[in-house]
């Protein structure tokens, strides 16, 4: 594995490269980093040149003051892809990474060969009091109690089974390392964002992977996939939001089958 930092849009972005072949870009979720692709990168690297990077505010990349935005995250990804000469690339995005991939597909479609969107939607618009309450809860847990407590709350939701004990422990430890200011700036970038009005124009071959117990229901994903001219949906059963970590074999096989079709 090769890892380094590169100056992009005025900040240093940390990235890692494994394997050879067609480029495959991995984009992590909110509060995550390149480390959380450890069950994917070695598998994909058998057939692809795998590039993972830490988004601004995350991991070993710089954490400048906010505000952040999805177009900003997507511009970072686009600049990285051009700087590393890995275009067009296959793209895999989980959660926030899936949102970045959607924004990238709208703003820079020429950079993407095909993409896998896991447990993400083309918008995060708060429409009910319950949804607003969830956003407030996250914000105030981080502000008042800290990142470790937020990790414990999320860990219990994402990895609830007894056999998840070890991965839950790793998740909590990594979550606790997040910079609270950068995390909140990233979270605020997601709330209210939407590219839903452009979804019919995204012609990139797309696989949407949906965990049956994700935060957003399968029916919502069926609805936007039906509006995309070149997309299909795959549902992974008995899985929650962190499918690549919870069900790595099933997730990896779905991604490889799609990219190597």
Question: What CATH number is given to the structural domain containing 22?
Answer: 3.40.50.1820
Does 153 map to a domain?
no
Does 132 map to a domain?
no
Neighbours of 163 (CB within 10 A): 8
Distance of alpha carbon 92 from alpha carbon 138, whole angstroms: 26
pLDDT for position 61: 98
pLDDT over 80 (residue 130): no
Six-digit token pair at 60?
């070993």
Q: What is the mean pLDDT of residues 193-199?
A: 97
pLDDT for position 133: 78
Distance of alpha carbon 114 from alpha carbon 229, whole angstroms: 13
pLDDT for position 241: 95
Partners of 14 in the β-ladder: 5
Does 159 map to a domain?
no
Tell me what the pLDDT averaged over the chain comes to.
Answer: 95
Q: Total domain count for the chain? A: 1
Does 226 map to a domain?
yes
Does 110 map to a domain?
yes
Partners of 97 in the β-ladder: none
Does 222 map to a domain?
yes
Neighbours of 257 (CB within 10 A): 11
* 220-223: long-range contacts, CB 8 A cutoff, minimum separation 24: 220/121, 221/121
Does 169 map to a domain?
no
pLDDT for position 243: 98
pLDDT over 90 (residue 166): yes
Judged by DSSP in three states, 14 sits in strand
Distance of alpha carbon 70 from alpha carbon 195, whole angstroms: 10
Does 65 map to a domain?
yes
User: Which residues 6+ apart lie within 8 Å of 80 measured at CB?
Assistant: 6, 8, 13, 15, 51, 53
pLDDT for position 145: 87
Distance of alpha carbon 138 from alpha carbon 243, whole angstroms: 21
Distance of alpha carbon 230 from alpha carbon 248, whole angstroms: 25
- Of the candidates 107, 70, 83, which has an alpha carbon nearest to the alpha carbon of residue 12? 83
Instruction: Provide the percentage of residues in the chain whose pLDDT is more than 90.
Output: 90
- Tell me which residue range forms the domain holding 29: 2-125+194-259
């Amino acid at each position: 594995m090769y890892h380094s930092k590169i100056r992009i849009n005025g900040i240093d972005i940390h990235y890692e490269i494994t394997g050879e072949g067609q480029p495959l870009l991995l984009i992590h979720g909110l509060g995550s980093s390149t480390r959380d692709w450890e069950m994917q990168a070695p598998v994909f690297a058998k057939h692809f040149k795998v590039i993972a990077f830490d988004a601004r505010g995350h991991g070993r990349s710089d954490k400048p003051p906010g505000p952040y935005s999805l177009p900003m995250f997507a511009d970072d990804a686009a600049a990285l892809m051009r700087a590393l000469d890995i275009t067009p690339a296959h793209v895999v995005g989980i959660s926030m990474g899936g949102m970045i991939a959607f924004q990238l597909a709208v703003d820079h479609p020429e950079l993407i060969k095909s993409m896998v969107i896991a447990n993400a939607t083309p918008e995060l618009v708060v429409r009910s009091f319950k949804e607003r309450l969830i956003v407030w809860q996250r914000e105030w847990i981080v502000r008042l109690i800290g990142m470790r407590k937020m990790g414990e709350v999320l860990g219990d939701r994402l990895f609830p089974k007894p056999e998840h004990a070890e991965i839950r422990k790793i998740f909590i430890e990594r979550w606790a390392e997040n910079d609270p200011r950068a995390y909140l700036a990233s979270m605020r970038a997601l709330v209210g964002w939407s590219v839903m009005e452009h979804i019919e124009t995204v012609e990139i071959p797309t696989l949407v992977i949906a965990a049956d117990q994700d935060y957003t229901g399968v029916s919502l994903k069926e609805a936007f996939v039906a509006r995309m001219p070149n997309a299909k949906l795959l549902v992974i059963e008995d899985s929650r939001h962190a499918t690549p970590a919870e069900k790595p074999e099933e997730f990896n096989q779905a991604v490889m089958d799609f990219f190597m079709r």
